[in-house]
Each structure stands twice: as C-alpha cells, then as structure tokens.
Amino acid sequence: MTNDFLKAFGLTIRDQIIMKNSVEIKGLGTFKAEHTSQQQERKGDGKLVMLPPKDSIEFKADMGE
C-alpha cells in the first residue's frame, strides 16, 4: 500500500466517523463514534470540576467469527 492510499483511507474513515457512521473492515474490526456527556468530577482537594462533553473513536477488533 502506498502512503497516498493510506492517507486517503484514513481520511475516509475520519469523515465517516464525523458523520456518526460506523466503519467495519472485515478481518480488522469496527470503528465508531462514542459520545460522552458533560460530567462532574471531584478533585483530590474537594473542588468540583465540570468536564465538557466529548466525542471519541471506539474500535472493536474483529475476532474472526
């Protein structure tokens, strides 16, 4: 595989994740967007901090069914 192909492949996966679509690659696994809502966290000094919502990418490996 060439670098140009790998870059285009990565951009395609990224674009699909941005559109909230999952991407399944047979033999490798599935990429999908995961949203985490705003949360509160108490620090060691007792202060309460608000954590902003965030999106991340979850990957589940294909275990060869």
Domains of the chain: 3-61 (4.10.520.10)
Average pLDDT score over the chain: 91
Distance CA 17, CA 1 (A): 23
Provide mean pLDDT across the span 43-49: 95
Whether residue 1 is predicted with pLDDT greater than 80 in this model: the reply is no
Show contacts of 62-65: CB within 8 Å, 24+ apart. Answer: 62/25, 62/26, 62/27, 62/28, 62/29, 62/30, 64/27
Whether residue 48 is predicted with pLDDT greater than 70 in this model: the reply is yes
pLDDT at 23: 93
pLDDT at 65: 59
Indicate whether this model's pTM tops 0.85. Answer: no
Whether residue 6 is predicted with pLDDT greater than 80 in this model: the reply is yes
